[in-house]
Structures are given as C-alpha cells and as structure tokens.
Amino acid sequence: MRAVLAQPDFRRLWTARTVSQWGDVFSFVALAILIYRLTGSGLGVAGVVVAEIVPVLLLAPLAGVVVDRLPRVQVMVAADLVRAFFAGVLVVWHDDPLVLYAVAFGLSAGAVFFNPAANSVLPSIVSDREVVAANSATWTAAVLSQIVLAPLSGGLVALVGPGWAFGLNSASFVVSALALHGLRPAEPPREVGRRRLLADAREGVALVGGDRLLRALAIGQLLAALSAGATSALLVVLAAEHLGAPPNAYGILVGAIGVGAALGPTLLLRLIPDPRRPLFVFGPYVLRGLIDLVLASVRSLPVAAAALAVYGLGTSTGAVTFNSLLQSHVTERTRGRVFALMDLLWQAGRLVSLGVGGLVADTLGVRAVYYFGGVLLLLAAVIGFAAARAAGTVGPEQ
C-alpha cells in the first residue's frame, strides 16, 4: 500500500475517494437521524434506502456505456460536481422528507457513474502487480473512515444539527473533483462511432453472459446481495430477539464487523502474493456463509461478535479480490459496463433481500433469515468454484 500511495496519480484517486467517503459518512448518519425525526417511522428510514437503490436499477446500464465511451476522469469530475450540488441543497433545505428522498436519489445517481469509472480507471494508473494493493488501500481507508467518523458524526449532529454535515459532504465532493482534475491516466482513444447506447449496453451484458468466469462472478454477486441485504439490515433484530443482548450490543456487533473489515486487506497482502484467483474470490463466500449459520445457532454475544469480526474480514478480502480479478480479467474497452452491471446486480439483489428478509423474519423468525443467508452464500461459492474449474481459471492472466 505504501508503494502505490507514493505514486502521484494513484494518490490523487485515493484522496478523491477517501475525502468524499468522509463526507458520505457524516451525511449518511445525519440523513438517517433527520429522516427518522421527520417521519418517526422505520418505514421512513427504509424509504431512503429505496431512494438510493432505484437510481442504480434505472441508470446502471447507461452509466456503464458512458464510462466506456467518454474519458473516465471527466465522468468522475462531473459526477462529483452533481453530487456537490445535491448535498449543498440540504444545507439550507432539510426540513421536508420529500427533499431528503430526492437528494438521496440524486447522490446515488452520481455514484452510479462515479464508481464504475473509478474502478475502471485504476488499472490505467498502477501496474498490473499493484492492482490488489491499490484496491486494498482504497478499501482500508473507507472502512477506517466509517469506524472513526460514524460515532463522531452522530454526536455532532445531536449537538449542532445536521446542516453542517451536509455542508461537509458537499465540500468533500468539490475537493474530490479538484484532486481528480489533475489526474492523467493512460487511456486509449475512445471509438464512439454511431452505435446506439442500447447496443453498447447489450454488448456488456452479452460479454458477462458469454464468459464463464464473469458469469460465475455475476451469479455470486447476486446471491451475496440476496443474502447480505437482509442479514445486515436485521442484525439489530438478531441481537435483540435471538441473542437477548442489551441495547448497546448492536453497536458492538457492528464495530466487530468494522474491525475485521479493516484488518482484511492488510492480512491479504501479507499472506498472499497475488490473490487474483477464483479461490480468493469465492472462498470468502464460504467463510461468510458459515458465519451466518453460526449466528443463527449461537446465543452468546462474545461468540457472535468474534464471528462477525471474521465475517468482516471475509467481506473486505472478498471485495478487494473481486474488484482486482475483474480489473485484470476484463478488457479496458468494456470495463465500465461490466462494473456497472455488477453494481446493478448487487443493488437489485439487496432490494429483493430487504423485502423478503423482513417477511421471513416476521413469519419464521430472524434465525431463518440467517440460515437462508448462509445457504445462499455457500451456493454462490459452489457455483463459482465449479465455473472456475470448468474454465480452467487458475490466475488473473486467464
């Protein structure tokens, strides 16, 4: 990580993503507190989640094409400026739930374009052997930001109100855009031609559907979202109803996940020279699936916290290896569409999982949610390993 952070171009990208992540943490906490105050219901808070997911479902196919057609740094800068505007609206106008939902929609719409562009441009500014370290540095900074800033932001919102948090978020996007403005990746010229957007989008879907490894990664992404959407949202219910834990236990469990997630990339780099292999992408699904089964079975808070630390480790290492394998396996010309499609699958699965998970918890109990979640993750691993073996994929070069 130190080696890639010493490179000016990557440092610009890392700074842009990390600073905007700081603003996102403050804004996320302030938005959740504020919408609950205004609506007084969990359904109102869930509405923010829906407002964040819907833009991905609507815009991801278009975003992937735009990222592959236009200079990616310009796409990221434009997305940052759009998000700075939406976040700035809440500085002066945050007393109407409809405005909050609209801004959540706008911020998510900007991220739909920014995230595939950022993931696609990274291999253009670091060498192939540095891709894993670069993804690890980005992931670690994001997790540490959340661990440190989320508790701080909650206290500050209670003391001085939410407006300042939205102002910080708006300013963070401006700083991100300024950092990216000087980034000059080695990108080949774009061949826009006269092809239609829909044809380009279909090409991306066909690429994923026709490549055995990409198809397995897509299926794994969807199954993982169907699992994690419900299990992450219902962790507070598991703590109260199954573990019989005190009110502050939920914070302990979330903190345990954060600790494991922060340690994961560092351990990955120290123990494995190049983890861009299906084993290290689908292996964490096995780990997380087993943890879900453990959580549904045990009633000890310390055991659950320790298990969730391991779950966080599996989540972070899986995310780093997933992105790194995609960046190495997919050509530069289609990378944006592939990442956008993976985002689409993740958010679609998450939305379905939130709805179905709530029904399962109400009818069969919260333990059933975690049993089903564990089975889905284990199924994702089985499909992934089978596809990788059939394709003969043993390393990123294949």
- Give domain limits for the chain: 1-192, 194-398
Using alpha carbons, list the distances in angstroms from residue 16 to 13, 76, 177: 5, 10, 7
Backbone phi, psi, residue 366, to 5°: -70, -25
User: Would you state the pLDDT for residue 347?
Assistant: 92
Rg of the chain over all Cα atoms, to the nearest angstrom: 20
Residue ranges for the chain with pLDDT beneath 50: 394-398
Terminal Cα distance for the chain, rounded: 25
- Give 262-279 as a DSSP string: HHHHHHHHHH-S---SHH
Homologous superfamily in CATH for domain 1-192: MFS general substrate transporter like domains (1.20.1250.20)
CA distance 320 to 280: 10
Q: What is the CB-side half-sphere exposure of residue 215 using CA atoms within 13 A?
A: 12
Of how many residues is the chain composed? 398
pLDDT of residue 59: 93
- The helix/strand/coil state of 225 is helix
Distance CA 320, CA 133 (A): 9
Q: Which two tokens stand for residue 321?
A: 């290896």
Q: What pLDDT shows up at residue 190?
A: 57
Q: Tell me if domain 1-192 and domain 194-398 are identical in fold.
A: yes
Q: Which two tokens mark 320?
A: 């780093």
CA-wise closest residue to 120 among 72, 168, 156: 72
At the topology level, CATH places domain 194-398 in: Growth Hormone; Chain: A; (1.20.1250)
Predicted confidence at residue 309, as pLDDT, reads: 93
Four-point Cα dihedral 387, 391, 392, 397, nearest 10 = -110
pLDDT for res 181: 86
Distance CA(387)–CA(391), nearest Å, equals 6
Give the model's pLDDT for residue 249: 75
pLDDT value, residue 173: 92
Nearest-angstrom CA–CA distance, 36 and 15: 32
Structure token pair of residue 201: 């989008």
